[in-house]
Chain A
């Protein structure tokens, strides 16, 4: 089982809709969870961090964490064409020095 799993997509949503991106992780003791956005040819950019169960909202973005189900998601409301990118889920496992593990990313396409 991969440590961090994401559907590779592409996920296509119409402009103005809600885009829902999902991620599961294998290490139950993981403590920190991140969503990065990566435009084609660019570097990953941190857009959300979440550390406790529940929802965390920042503008049009909402991160949701369910540690019991080992599941983290990112909702993008009122999706814009500029949101079209690959979204990487990253998880910080417990113990020792913190080695963040990245998923393979979900490609999001927002159709005008």
Chain B
């Protein structure tokens, strides 16, 4: 009965490789997010989708490409991985509007290590 799930939990890969992270939520939310948390623990938004539409696209290298096949799923594909991509990537979801006013619920995170 996990609310927001991510796979894989850990990802260790070589520089230059391409990898994907998957996220699914069963909360019925209409909006999903990708965040990056670096070694200094700063949580920074990367992308957000509302009902499969990209609504937030922060200054992120175009090696990062999100895809939302439906409102319950959001994937992140990363091309040509670099050392600086090493971080924990969190998926989150929320209702965009209404009484909950964007209370976001986070997945367990994917720890990416680029060697």
The interface of chain A, by Cβ under 8 A from chain B, is 31-32, 34, 38, 42-46, 49, 51, 86, 88, 90, 92, 97-102, 104-105
> Per a CB cutoff under 8 Å, which of A45, A88, A99, A102 touches B56?
A99
Give, as a whole number of angstroms, the nearest-CB distance from B22 to chain A: 16
Give, as a whole number of angstroms, the nearest-CB distance from B41 to chain A: 6
Q: A43-B90, A49-B103 are in contact. Are A105 and B96 (CB under 8 A)?
A: no
**Is B48 part of the contact surface with A, judged by Cβ < 8 Å?**
yes
Decide: A92 and B96 in contact? CB cutoff 8 A.
no
Give, as a whole number of angstroms, the nearest-CB distance from A60 to chain B: 20
Bound CA–CA A92/B45 (angstroms): 13
The SS class assigned to the B binding surface is: loop
Decide: A32 and B109 in contact? CB cutoff 8 A.
no
Residue of A nearest to B53 (CB): A97
Q: A34-B103, A86-B41 are in contact. Are A97 and B50 (CB under 8 A)?
A: yes
Residues of A within 8 A of B115 (CB): none
Give, as a whole number of angstroms, the nearest-CB distance from B38 to chain A: 11
Bound CA–CA A86/B55 (angstroms): 29
Interface residues of B in 21-76 (CB under 8 A from A): 40-45, 48, 50, 55-56
Bound CA–CA A100/B90 (angstroms): 14
Decide: A104 and B45 in contact? CB cutoff 8 A.
no
Decide: B43 and A49 in contact? CB cutoff 8 A.
no
